[in-house]
Structure 1
Amino acid sequence: MNKLILCLALVGFCTAANFICTPEMKQNKNCTREYNPVCGVKIDPTKSYKYSSIKSTYSNKCTACAEQDVEFYAEGSCEDYPKIATFCHPNAYLNQACTLEFFPVCGLFDNSVICKKGPCGSNYSNKCVACTNEQVSYFLPGYCHLQEQYQP
């Protein structure tokens, strides 16, 4: 019983702000008109599936996922994020083999991380390393101390 409670607690703590569109969601064509905006993210097939900056705002997660090319979504409208934000695929944290290239990025944390002054972020040597942190929702080029210039 204690193991079950511990597992549930860990699952609840590690939820990300980026959510995969499930096959069921992608097949749904009867979406409600509720307005709870999300930023739908499309993957460029010529690039890595782990990251994307191709995004559009949708009225809710159902309408986003019903769009054929949307792979995942982030909470809130795309305008809530910096224009140059590149989103991490929700499964990118599973990648355990990143290159050693040095192209620093500022990984911005999802809403599971509480910080005194937002937005919360950390410096990473490259985008792959940033996205292996399950709490990183998106990243910006350069170091975090420069991020203030990238506000939405």
Structure 2
Amino acid sequence: MLHMLLLYVVQSQINDCQIQLGDCLDNYDPVCGLNISNTPIQTFFNNCYACKASQVVKFIKGDCTKNEDYIKSESSSTSLGADNITPQPTNGNYSETISCTNPRPSICDTNVKSTCGLFDSTTKCTGLNCLQQFSNECLACRNTSIHSYFIGNCSDYKPKTPTVIQCNTQSSKNCELKEQLTVCGFLDETAICQNPPCLQPFDDKCEPCQQANITSYFIGDCNQYQQLFYNAQQQTDSFVPNYQYCQVQRPIECDQEYIQTCGILRSCKDNGCERTFDNPCYACQNNQIEGYYTGECINNFTKVISIIIISMLIQ
């Protein structure tokens, strides 16, 4: 009887998140944000901030520490249900990444399907730090920093050198069903870019071969091109080792964090192709920008120094 009463109290206290539109008010009413397994994420200022967090789908009023016993009781009771099936891990395969699309979901269901999300090119990360585990695809794509995902565990992430697929007349016609995948196209020899080979990201397999200037493509992220196709020494010999292509889905909102960023204009070469931005997100918001690297603009900086030296000689 006591156990049933406790369970009723717990269930009545746990609330499902609702869609949160606009900015959250700063009224302090602490809640404990929970993921789909009722595992505490952290204590939030109020339920609005909690439900806007990437992995939070439920909340319980009060600090997480105060609700610890209630949450444990609820988690143990739901784990005995017949519908709760532990997802079987699958080998992570980078070549099977699926692109997130806009508009992003505001609220997700509680289906469990191990999903590994890949952070977009505007997120500062390296290697395995560019991955985050989620409980399903919806939760992965609800996080606006995630641009694509694969089904499986991030710990199984094993990038494989992808096959380059040549475009032909037949491949451009067989595109009745578009499958959302992260794809990177190779531009033809007439393309101009500052970081050869000239690449262009797409979010399905059909689009590249429908473009007149795309000769071939591989299933994967353009930002992984150097790691996938070249050894470490060849990577260091590239124009800009940390060059990042902007994703197909451009960011809608950007934070105010200042990270000096140099954006590269599309179809441009040599001086005058670079623009300075406050951070990578602002650079990729501009549809004229192909990609970026963090730090001072190399060519523009060299040009400024040259102008200063010339002016000094004239004087």
Larger Rg: 2
Q: TM-score by structure 2 length?
A: 0.21
Q: What's the TM-score once normalised by structure 1's chain length?
A: 0.39
